[in-house]
Amino acid sequence: MIAGLSSLVYNVTPFLEEHPGGDEVLLTSTEKDATNDFEDVGHSDDAKATMQKFYIGEIDKSTLPSNQKYTPPPTAASTANQDSGSSSKILLFILPLLILGLAFVLRLYSKKE
């Protein structure tokens, strides 16, 4: 479906294989306002007439969501990941020190014996 052109909606599925510009461009223009996409190409009057065959209705603009961008709140999983991330960084720093200390102690004891 192509929404746009003054909120008009077109079902282009039957036209995908026949579209002279190819099906790919049509698919990238679906489920959105494709007015600019359509007009940028400079479609002929013939193309505009053909388009009318696929008209299926009009969008009720009052039902459209506002254009605000949704930013999801941080989930428990992402916070847990951050925590485990910082604790593993500490472990990466401490582990070599622990191994060094252990080697040092072992060497000290083996010298005494």
Question: Dihedral angle at the C-alpha atoms of 78, 80, 82, 88, nearest 10 degrees?
Answer: -140
Contact 38, 24 (CB under 8 A): no
Contacting ligand HEM (CB under 6 A), which of 13, 21, 84, 106? 21
Contacting ligand HEM (CB under 6 A), which of 7, 19, 23, 59? 19
Of 7 and 54, nearer to ligand HEM (C-beta) is 54
Contacting ligand HEM (CB under 6 A), which of 1, 33, 37, 59? 37
Give the separation between CA 62 and CA 59, rounded to whole angstroms. 9
Is 18 a binder of ligand HEM (CB under 6 A)? Answer: no
